[in-house]
Structure 1
C-alpha cells in the first residue's frame, strides 16, 4: 500500500503545530509536505520587541527544517486549490510555478491585513505583520528621531516626533507601549529642541483599550499607557492619511510622518478560491475540522470557521491560542482518517491572555486570574518562553542583555524613503478606484487635460478648462475585512502583487488582485490580531 500524501498549506501557529504533530504520529509512514513562503515559523506575539530592538529578528523566527523532522518543506505561496483534482498550485520565491498532489490536505493559510477604504492608508501607513515590517518600522522610527534632532524647524521636528498607532488591540497596544519607551531612549542620544518630546497616539473606535480583555486589565493597560505619555484616544480613528499627516474622525489634523496600522486581520483570500461555503470569509468546517463534502480536506486557524461546541451557534475567535490547538486537533483527525488513532472534535478552554507593556509592566489573566505590574510581566515572559517551539535560550539571553546593557540605536539602511507603505495585496482595495469603465473614463480625462495643456502652450494661449467626467467610485472592501507582508517578504500564503509574478487562469485558482499603492512595500493568528497568545 502506498504512503498517504499529506500537504499542509501555511506554517503559522496552526500549520506548524499540525506538521509537528503529524510528523510524530506518522513515524515516517506518510509523506508530509509543508508549503510556506518562508523557511521559518514566526512567533508573532514578540514582534513588537523586535521592532524596538529588545530581541534580534532571528529570535522570533523558528527554523522549519531544523524543528520539523520527516517533513518536506516547499517554499512557495499557494495560488489556488483544485479539490476535484486534489492538487495545490503554488508559486516559488523566484516566480516558478508548481503543483502538489495530495491525499489529505490541511489548509492553515492564516490571515492577512484587514484594510479599510480610508483614503491614503494604502500609501502612507506602516503595516505590522512580519519581520521585515518590524525592522522597517525600527529603522523608520530611528530615522525620524535623528532627523528631528538635526532640524531647526519646530514644525518639522514636531511632525517627525509624532507617531500615530491605529488599533488598540493586542498588537497596537504593545507597539504604542514599547514604542514610547524606544523613542525616549533615542532622544537621550539625540536631544531634541527645547520643549520637544516624542508624541505617541493610540487610536481606536472601540470604547476602551484591549476591548477583548477583562475590563480591569483594560484599565491597567490604559493607565500604564497614559502614565508613560501615550495619548489614548478611544472612539477616534483616521479619516484620511496624507504625506503631511492624518485627519482624525473628530476633525483634528495631526502632522506626522508615522502611521502604524494595527487594525486587525481577515482570513486569507485563498479560501475564497476553493468554492466552499464561507462564514465571514472563513472556510466552514465541522467540529472535526473537516470541510463538509470533502472528507480529505481539513482546515484550521484563522482561515477556518470552527464551531464553538461550548457556545452553540458561534465560532471560535481568530486567536493564536485557538490556532495552535486546532493545528494539533487537525493533525490527530488527519491521522485518524489514515487509520492511526481515533478522531476527536475540537474543544478548547481559554487559558487567558497576556499583553507586554514594556519594561516590567504587563497585563495578564492566566486561567482567569487578573494580574498587572511586575508579576504580570514575569508571567507574560514565562508564558512566551513556554509557548515558543524553539529559540527559548536565545530569547531569554536577549532579555537579560537588554536589562543590563543599553540598546543599540542605529539604522540598518532598510528605509530608503520617508515612508514604508502598507502592503495592500488584497481584494478590498483596488490600485485605481472605480469600476473598469469609470477607470477608462478617468484615464481619458487625464489624457484630455494633458493634450489641451500641451496644445495651449504651443499656441501661446490659456488651456481650455477641463470638465471632469464621472467621479471614480471609492474603493469598497471585498467582503470580510489581511497578513500583510513587508517589502520583500510574503506573508503566510499571501500572494505577491500580480504585477510581480506570472499567473495563469485555471479552475479553482485564486484571481490576481493588483496591489494598490506604491510597488515598494511595506501590519496573531489573533483578535484578528496575532498579538494575543
Structure 2
C-alpha cells in the first residue's frame, strides 16, 4: 500500500460519497482511496423530513459506508486543516485524537453548514435541520409541545406550544412545514384534552414566493397545497428577534411560540476559507474540470466548490444535491484521468427537473420540464428517491407502505437533547435541496 498513490476524499456527502464509489470502480485497486468523514454513513438528507414526521426509521436514510464503498478506506474523522505545501491533512478522529494524512490527490467535498444570520436570539432559540440528530430532536420536540399544551391550564401557553414557525421556504423548509403540520394535526386529533385548540404553523421567508428556485407554477401549487391545510405563508418577511417566549417578525408581529426551525439555507464549510486558495462567496474556485487553478492535484466538488456553470456562462452551479452527485461522478473520472485510466472531461449538466414532497398524497415536480402536482407528482417524487438511494430501497418502500395503512406512533424517544443540536454547529452534512437525477 505504501507504493500506491493515495487519493484522499474529504467529506462523505453526495459529492464525496459518489466520488469514492465511482473512483473505486475505475481504479480497481491501482490507487489507494481514503474517504475522511465524521460519520460511518452517507446521509440521504432529502428524506430527512419524513424521519422527523415519523414516517421513516432514521436508519433508512443512513447508508453505511462499509459495503457501499468497496475498496475505499474510511477514516472516521473531521478535517481540521490542510498543508498544501506538504500535501497533508490534519484531522481529529471520533475520540478526539489528532493525526496527519498525506495525499497525492485531494478531493475537497466537505459540503456546507447552517447559514446563520445576525438575528438576535436565533442561535440560542432556533434549531436547524441538517442531520439525523436534528430530525429526531424536532420530532420529539413537536410531540412534547403538544403533550405539554394538553397539560397546561393557561390558554396563552397552550396556544404558544401549539404554534410552530419555520424560517426559510426553500426545499427543506417547505417539506419540514408540510410534514410537521400533518404530524401535529394527527396528534391534535388523538389528544382529547386539546379538542378545539387551534394548531398554527407559519412558513416565513424574505423571498416573494415559496420555493423561489422552482418554476412559478410549481411554487404556486405548493403554496396552495399548504395554504389549504392551514399553513400561514409569510413571504417578504423575516425574523427580527427570537426569544424563549416567541418570535418577532420583521412586519412587527410577535408570534408566541416554543418552536423555531431554521431552514434558511447553507454556507460552505469554514475549512474552505482556511485553505488560502481563491474562493467565490466562500466556495473553493475550480475550473470546468473541477480542478483548482494552480493546484492540479486538488479537486473540488459539491457545496464546497464554485464550479463554472457551462450552461450559464459567468455563473456557478447551485448548491444542490443534483449538482453534488453529478460532480462527484465527474471528479472521479477526472481523478482517474490524471492516472491515465479515463478521459478528462469538463462538468456540464442537463437539468432534469426537481421534486418537492408536500406530505400526504401531495407533491410538486417538473421531470424533464413537465409540471406535475398531486398524486402523479407524488409518484414521481417517491420513484426518484428510490432510484437515487444507493441502498435500502426495499426498507424505505416498506416504511411508506406501513405509513399508508397504519397510524403513526406518536411517542417521544428522548434520544437527543437540545444541547446536542446547537444551531451554530459547524459539522458539515449535505447539499440542500432535492433534485431529480
TM-score by length of 1: 0.80
Match of 1:312 in 2: 313
**Structure 2 unmatched ranges of 5 or more:** none
2:59 maps to 1:58: yes
The 5 A counterparts of 1:158-177 are 158-177=159-178
The 5 A counterparts of 1:206-225 are 206-225=207-226
Larger strand proportion, structure 1 or 2?
2
CA positional deviation for 1:415: 5.2
* Separation in 2, partners of 1:192, 1:247: 29
* Separation in 2, partners of 1:221, 1:264: 19
The 5 A counterparts of 1:63-102 are 63-102=64-103
- Residues 136 and 420, structure 1, Cα contact 8 Å, conserved in 2: no
* Separation in 2, partners of 1:40, 1:275: 29
Change (3 A) 1:188 1:10: same
- CA deviation profile, 1:192-223 (whole Å, cap 9, x unmatched): 44531221000001000100100000000000
- CA deviation profile, 1:161-212 (whole Å, cap 9, x unmatched): 0000000000000011111100011112223445312210000010001001
Match of 1:505 in 2: none
* Separation in 1, partners of 2:366, 2:114: 27
* Separation in 2, partners of 1:89, 1:302: 21
Query: Which has more radius of gyration?
Result: 1
- Residues 4 and 338, structure 1, Cα contact 8 Å, conserved in 2: no
2:397 maps to 1:491: no
* Separation in 2, partners of 1:120, 1:24: 48
Match of 2:423 in 1: 423
- Residues 201 and 232, structure 2, Cα contact 8 Å, conserved in 1: yes
Change (3 A) 1:271 1:532: same
The 5 A counterparts of 1:432-471 are none
SS in 2 for 1:106: strand
- Residues 166 and 263, structure 1, Cα contact 8 Å, conserved in 2: yes
- CA deviation profile, 1:69-90 (whole Å, cap 9, x unmatched): 0000000110000111000111
- Residues 355 and 434, structure 2, Cα contact 8 Å, conserved in 1: no
* Separation in 1, partners of 2:363, 2:338: 43
C-alpha RMSD of matched pairs (Å): 1.3
2:334 maps to 1:325: no
- Residues 268 and 303, structure 2, Cα contact 8 Å, conserved in 1: yes
SS in 1 for 2:165: strand
* Separation in 1, partners of 2:416, 2:26: 45
* Separation in 2, partners of 1:415, 1:305: 34
- Residues 123 and 421, structure 1, Cα contact 8 Å, conserved in 2: no
* Separation in 1, partners of 2:323, 2:13: 12
CA positional deviation for 1:416: 5.0
CA positional deviation for 1:331: 0.5
Change (3 A) 1:416 1:132: closer
2:415 maps to 1:414: yes
- Residues 88 and 101, structure 1, Cα contact 8 Å, conserved in 2: yes
Match of 1:118 in 2: 119
Change (3 A) 1:54 1:210: same
The 5 A counterparts of 1:46-445 are 46-414=47-415, 416=417, 422-425=422-425
CA positional deviation for 1:2: 2.9
- Residues 49 and 135, structure 2, Cα contact 8 Å, conserved in 1: yes
* Separation in 1, partners of 2:270, 2:167: 23
Q: Give aligned pairs, total.
A: 435
SS in 2 for 1:126: coil
**Structure 1 unmatched ranges of 5 or more:** 426-483, 485-489, 493-523
Change (3 A) 1:341 1:396: same
- CA deviation profile, 1:301-326 (whole Å, cap 9, x unmatched): 00001011121111111110000000
CA positional deviation for 1:50: 0.2
Change (3 A) 1:92 1:169: same
* Separation in 2, partners of 1:337, 1:38: 29
* Separation in 2, partners of 1:123, 1:403: 37
2:431 maps to 1:525: yes
- Residues 19 and 32, structure 1, Cα contact 8 Å, conserved in 2: yes
Per mean C-alpha deviation after superposition, the further-off stretch among 1-10 and 79-88 is: 1-10
- Residues 168 and 174, structure 2, Cα contact 8 Å, conserved in 1: yes
* Separation in 2, partners of 1:87, 1:151: 57
* Separation in 1, partners of 2:190, 2:370: 40
* Separation in 2, partners of 1:55, 1:152: 34
- CA deviation profile, 1:82-112 (whole Å, cap 9, x unmatched): 1110001110111100111011100000000
